[in-house]
Amino acid sequence: MSAEYICKKNHFYLPDDLIYLDGNSLGPMPLKALEYMPSVMQNQWGEKLIGGWNDAGWYDQPIRVGDRIARLVGADTGYIVTGETLSIKVYQALAAALDINSDRRVILSDNGNFPTDLYIAEGLIKTLDKGHQLACPNPEEVEDSIDDSVAVLMLTEVDYKTSRRHDMKRLTEKAREHGVITIWDLAHSAGAIPIDLQGCDIDFAIGCTYKYLNGGPGSPAFIYVAKRHSNIATPALSGWMGHQAPFSFEQSYRAHEGTSRMRVGTPPVLALSVLEAALDVFDGVDMHTLYQRSRVLSELFIKEVMGSCPSLILASPEKSELRGSHVSFYFEHAFSAIQALIDLGVVGDFRAPNVMRFGITPLYLEEADISLAAQKIASVVNQGLWKKQIYQKKGAVT
Ligand SMILES: *Cc1c(COP(=O)(O)O)cnc(C)c1O
């Protein structure tokens, strides 16, 4: 598959003079979604009203959209459902996993994991009140910390700050040898790098869809449950849409067979429709080819930035196979530098306290964008453009 084929810039709504290196945080809008939504509003919600649940396929949408994601993460269809946010999916996966290994008390993660994953674990531990402990060693020490005391290994494959990638296959293998249930968070993997959930024998996986999958701000998250658990995992959020017969309105909960038990409440139809259209961009895209392109572009980016900006330090692993699809640098004035860069038409982001982060997304970036972005970073850093007063003020979201 040629590079031209991968680059689908004309499928996105992106201003001509903007270089968008933040698709790892919020993907740009696919034009398909913009074209599709008026018809969903008019022909489905508008015309069909309540009938849309049956006649427009709203009821099955969480599973249908999950099946679209399945190919991108190496799962068979039928084992992924969509809905709610990733924080909720962390809760569901962790509660179900702890219930499977109910005689163990340790949740093993790492101290580079995204805070919400750890916060949710803390909250669940309190709610369960069974003396669980959350262990968060350095990412490099996780492998040695896997032993028979661990109930659940809960990791994010690609570190949101540094892009460091865990060896999913090896860690899962070791976990299985010790009877540990695995949960992999694919927030920075899905739509960016090839994943083989079934080949790696993962127990649970979760991820969001507004990053590399371009589903739009707050788009629904997904959860994967391995076949062996799909009929027995206990849903902690036992909502009516995960009931075996939601419209029997029974007094008591009975979990639905299969992964549908991870449904909670009424699905966000409009948001799922945006996502459904957004996923069309991935039709015909091979994830290995996409990731290869990401590695080529990332290498060029690192070479050019490091070559021209001696005051930046590479925060990401040097070897491209050890990275996800973003590249980060440490710079003391990272926040102001990112603001100055945005003013020059290059959008990256800042992660506290001193990380400049850039998403490398081959679906809409090519060599020329990468080189131009590197030049602009050099102007900001080397000419001290970041020093201007206007670049010092932080908004609510950074
Ligand atoms: C982006 C991200 C989240 C965000 O969770 P939301 O509930 O969607 O806000 C959670 N975990 C990881 C690892 C992330 O990268």
Say if residue 294 is in the same domain as residue 227.
no
* pLDDT per position as a tens digit, 136-173: 999 999 999 999 999 999 999 999 999 999 999 999 99
Residue nearest to atom 15 of ligand 1 (CA): 187
Residues 256 and 294 in one domain: no
148 and 172 in a single domain? The answer is: yes
Same domain for 250 and 116: yes
The finding on whether 110 has its CB within 6 A of some atom of ligand 1 is no
Of 255, 282, 309, the domain-final residue: 282
**Would the CB of 24 count as within 6 Å of ligand 1?**
no
For 35, residues 6+ apart whose C-beta sits below 8 A from its C-beta are 277
Residue partners of 209: CB distance under 8 A and separation at least 6:
69, 82, 190, 215, 219, 220, 221, 222, 275, 278
In Å, how far are 117, 121, 152, 230, 314 from 134, measured between CA atoms?
A: 11, 7, 10, 25, 30
User: What is the per-residue pLDDT for 380?
Assistant: 97
Q: Is residue 160 in contact with ligand 1, taking CB distance under 6 Å?
A: yes
pLDDT band (50, 70, 90) for residue 22: very high
208 lines ligand 1 (CB under 6 A): yes
Mean pLDDT of 226-232: 98
Provide the pLDDT for residue 114: 97
Ligand 1 pocket, 161 CB below 6 A?
no
From 247, 282, 317, the end of a domain falls on 282
* Test site for ligand 1: of 154, 160, 164, 188, most ligand atoms within 8 A of the Cβ: 160
Residues 278, 290: one domain?
Answer: no
User: What share of the chain in percent tops pLDDT 70?
Assistant: 99
| Reported confidence tier of residue 5, pLDDT bands at 50, 70, 90 | low
Q: Which amino acid is at 16?
A: D
What is the reported pLDDT for 395? 85
The average confidence (pLDDT) of the chain is 97
Considering the domain boundaries, does residue 38 fall inside one? no
In a domain, 44, yes or no: no
Ligand 1 centre from 43 Cα, in Å?
33
Ligand 1 centroid to 7 CA: how many Å?
A: 26
What pTM did the predictor assign? 0.97
Confidence of residue 394 (pLDDT cuts 50, 70, 90): confident
> By mean pLDDT, which of 118-122, 343-347, 393-397 is the weakest?
393-397
Residue 204 Cα to ligand 1 middle (Å): 16
Same domain for 272 and 336, yes or no, is no
Among 22, 25, 86, 206, which residue has the most ligand 1 atoms within 8 Å of its CB, making it the best to mutate?
86
Report, as an integer, the average pLDDT of 324-343: 97
Report how far Cα 245 is from the mean position of its chain's Cα atoms: 31
**What's the CATH number where 83 sits?**
3.40.640.10
pLDDT-based confidence at residue 340 (cuts at 50, 70, 90): very high
DSSP H or E run through 174: helix 168-177
The answer on pLDDT for 236 being more than 70 is yes
Residue 396 lies in a domain: no
- Cα within 13 Å of Cα(111), Cβ side: 6
| Centroid of ligand 1 to alpha carbon of 316 (angstroms) | 20
pLDDT at 393: 87
Instruction: Kindly indicate the confidence band of residue 4, based on its pLDDT and cuts at 50, 70 and 90.
Output: low
- The reply to whether ligand 1 has any atom less than 6 angstroms from the CB of 116 is yes
Kindly state if the Cβ of 183 falls inside 6 Å of ligand 1.
no
Asked if residue 3 has pLDDT above 70, the reply is: no
Whether a cis peptide bond, with omega within 30° of 0, leads into 353 is: yes
Residue of 208, 211, 223, 349 to test ligand 1 pocket, by largest number of atoms within 8 Å of CB: 208
pLDDT band (50, 70, 90) for residue 188: very high
For residue 37, being part of any structural domain is answered with no
- How far, CA to CA in Å, does 337 sit from each of 125, 146, 186? 39, 40, 29
Residue 312: pLDDT above 60? yes
| Dist CA 380 CA 331 (whole Å) | 12
Residues 198 and 339 in one domain: no
Residues 306, 262 share a domain: no
What is the domain extent for residue 162?
59-282
Residue 396 has what pLDDT?
Answer: 85
pLDDT level of residue 2 (50, 70, 90 thresholds): low
Count the Cβ atoms, other than its own, within 10 Å of residue 56: 17
Per-residue pLDDT band for 360 (boundaries 50, 70, 90) equals very high
The C-alpha atoms of residue 294 and residue 247 are separated, in whole angstroms, by 46
pLDDT value at residue 45 = 98
Of all protein residues, the one whose alpha carbon is nearest to atom 3 of ligand 1 is 86
Q: Is the minimum distance from the CB of 156 to ligand 1 under 6 angstroms?
A: yes
If asked whether residues 135 and 97 sit together in one domain, one would say yes
Task: For 83-131, write each residue's pLDDT tens digit.
Answer: 999 999 999 999 999 999 999 999 999 999 999 999 999 999 999 999 9
Count: domains in the chain: 2
CA-closest residue to ligand 1 atom 2: 187
Same domain, 118 and 185: yes
How close is the Cα of 312 to the center of ligand 1, in Å?
27
For residue 361, name the pLDDT band (cuts at 50, 70, 90).
very high
Atom of ligand 1 nearest to the CA of 211: 1
